[in-house]
Amino acid sequence: MKKISRRLFVEGTGAGIVAVAIPLEGQAQSAPAAPTTASNAPKTTIKLTINGQQRSMEVEDRWTLVEVLRDHLQLTGTKIGCDRGECGACTVLVNGKAVYSCSQLAVWMDGRTVQTIEGLAQGTKLDPLQTAFIEHDAPQCGYCTSGQLMAAKALLNSNPKPTREEVRAGMTGNLCRCSNYNHYVEAVMAAAGTLKSGGAA
């Protein structure tokens, strides 16, 4: 795990492509992270599955999902760009559907299944999307990349062989301030095996 992540970090702009959930390793399955709750704020204990691990944890009712992921579970692969549902950097899958984790409260995740960028690779085996993103130089600065990957994952889950137009439509909810949109589309097409020969960027 460590080795491949190192290699990839060196190989390119891997930072956004492979997020390694170091703090999760070796942690008891349902061990709650140590959230720092304000003493008088309403709190709720929720049970949810994150990247295949069942967890039970106490959250403040006002916490957003992305806050819990980043600040309390150290799953910092999910980024915050705008915190207003306007950029897509925080995209994760909830019950298989892409949503903005900045625009969901964590208490609403009770009983749900959340997949983040940290759960995309199968052990040391990268998801075909991650491989394609590397091969097609999809990220530039990489900030939007984990969100782009999760949006693409949701798209291919529901439409494994999308057309270029469908990829573009499926990724409209993810801004890239480096404006590397064409490479992202090529990478998704390649991962889906729908890239026409000669169509590579």
Partner 1 sequence: MKSLRNVNPKSFQEAARTLAADPKAMAVGGGSDLLQLLKEHTIAPDTLVNLKAIGGQDKIETHGNTLSIGALATLDSISHHAEVRQKYAVLAEAAGQVATPQIRNAGTIAGNVMQRPWCWYYRNNFPCYKNGGNTCFSITGENDFHAIFGGGPSFIVHPSDTAPALVALGARFKIQGANGTREVAAADFFQPPTVNPAKENSLAAGEVLTEITIPAPAKGTRSTYLKILDREAWTHAVVGVAAVLEMDGAMCKSARVVLSGVAPIPWRVPAVEQILAGQRITEDLLVRAGEKAVEGARPLAKNAYKVPLLRASVKQALRTASGVSA
Ligand X SMILES: Cc1cc2nc3c(=O)[nH]c(=O)nc-3n(C[C@H](O)[C@H](O)[C@H](O)COP(=O)(O)OP(=O)(O)OC[C@H]3O[C@@H](n4cnc5c(N)ncnc54)[C@H](O)[C@@H]3O)c2cc1C
Burial (Cβ within 10 Å: 0-12, 13-18, ≥19) of residue 43? middle
The stretches of the chain forming alpha helices (DSSP H) are 2-11, 65-67, 128-135, 145-158, 164-170, 181-191
46 interacts with, out of partner 1, ligand FES, ligand X, none, CB within 5 to 8 A per kind: none
Closer to ligand FES by CB, 88 or 162: give it.
Answer: 88
Positions 58 through 77 that interact with partner 1 (CB under 8 A): 60-64
**From CA 30, how far away is CA 9, in angstroms rounded?**
30
58/144 Cα distance (integer angstroms): 29
Number of Cα atoms under 13 Å in the Cβ half of residue 118 = 21
Whichever of 18 and 150 has its CB closer to partner 1, that residue is 150
Closest distance of CB 58 from partner 1, Å: 13
Q: Which residue has the tokens 């150290």?
A: 74
Closest distance to ligand FES from the beta carbon of 151 (Å): 11
Tell me the closest approach of the beta carbon of residue 109 to ligand FES, in angstroms.
Answer: 15
22 binds, among ligand X, partner 1, ligand FES, none (CB under 5 to 8 A by kind): none
Residues contributing to the site for partner 1 (CB under 8 A): 38, 40-42, 44, 60-64, 83-86, 88, 91, 97-100, 102-105, 107-108, 151, 154-155, 169-170, 172-173
